[in-house]
Amino acid sequence: MPSVAYLYDPLFLEHDRPGHPEHAGRLRAVMGLLRERNISDALCPLSFAAATFAQLTAVHAPAYVARVQALSQRGGGALNPDTYLNAASFDAAALAAGACIAAAQAVMSSAACRAFALVRPPGHHAFADHGEGFCLFNNAAFAAKSALGDLDAAEDYAWSPAALRSQRDARPARVMIVDFAVHHGNGTQAIFYDDPRVLFLSIHEYGFIYPGSGASDEQGRGRGRGLTINVPLPPQTGDFGYALVFDQIVAPAALRFRPDLIVVSAGFDAHWRDPLAHMCVSLAGFARMMRVLCELSEALCGGRMVVVLEGGYDLEALSFGVLNTLRIMQGNLSEVEDPIGPSPVDEAPVEELIAAFAHTHGLE
């Protein structure tokens, strides 16, 4: 059986602004824990290259890509009050997009069973024509569009002819993107809002929190109507509430849509100790979510899954969240580590709310 792959490059650490919540120390902490636990020895490192301008503009407007590149070449600046660039940011973001393209190609060509793109800057708040929410380019969108055949990326990677033929033959008709980062994946939603090939499902805190979108009545447009599923949850939703969402909404939606690939926007900022949110999820709760997603990928996709790192701003919760995710992707269900423990705050009651969401989307 092909191994579980990971994609990482030290260039991702060069995009940095000390004191900003999305700083290089996040990924440095993740990689430090993975080395400490020696988990990389059992994983397959994948080589990859930066996305080309042509690939970047298959997702993003050419004027926006040029703006990011020019601002970075001038030494950096601010796209908006919360999204920065420095001299390395364009190169890091283009490399992150390339990593997600390579991850999808590897999974679809059976060079890897599953792949985790350990990338930054994050991406799910990046729209076609602008970035926000710490995000420059939409990494999950590059993975999905690569698998769907929207990127003519084959010539940019050193694939064998046999692998390329296998990738073309395995190209899926449907991709499901599951985003469990605590902030609504507004950029990803917008990119695929009218695309009938992509089911986008976002589970997020809703209310007085960025970005303020992701209401349950945002359900897609045109041929994509019904293929956007938002699950906006109140503050203090925890492990039990998320388990209900995965059992009553995520799993039935996947079984109905029957994707050929699952892409996961994996943010660990719904953890109860995260400083930018107000949820009550524990590391054990995240592990359960990933078990469900892996089971769905086995049942529906031949195991094909690409996981893309998004948010998570408590370094310990983020690092152990990634560690546990990789172990579960490998099929190791017995070594989940949760040194932080459960939330000390009682969970919000959400049973009726989740049942109502399931009814709204015909998932009862």
Count of CB atoms situated within 10 Å of the CB of 352: 8
* d(C-alpha 152, C-alpha 53), whole Å: 12
Q: Are 152 and 54 in contact (CB under 8 A)?
A: yes
Does 125 participate in catalysis according to the annotation? yes
Q: Are 188 and 139 in contact (CB under 8 A)?
A: no
Q: Are 250 and 190 in contact (CB under 8 A)?
A: no
Residue 146's H or E segment, with its range, is helix 139-148
Q: Identify whether 211 is preceded by a cis peptide bond (ω within 30 of 0).
A: yes
Of the residues 125, 184, 204, 271, only one is catalytic, namely: 125
Angle (deg, nearest 10), helices 315-329 and 24-36: 50
- Cα 162 to Cα 1, 149, 155, 159, 170, distances in angstroms: 18, 17, 14, 8, 12
Write out the DSSP string of 231-299.
EEE-TT-BHHHHHHHIIIIIHHHHHHH--SEEEEEE--TTBTT-TT---BB-HHHHHHHHHHHHHHHHH
Backbone angles phi, psi at 259, to 5 degrees: -70, 155
In the chain, beta strands by DSSP E: 4-7, 44-45, 76-80, 83-86, 114-117, 175-179, 198-205, 228-233, 261-266, 305-309
Pairing of strands 175-179, 198-205: parallel
Task: Name the one residue in this structure whose structure tokens are 């998320």.
Answer: 242
List 86's β-bridge partners, or say none: 76
* d(C-alpha 228, C-alpha 221), whole Å: 9
The catalytic site residues sit at: 125
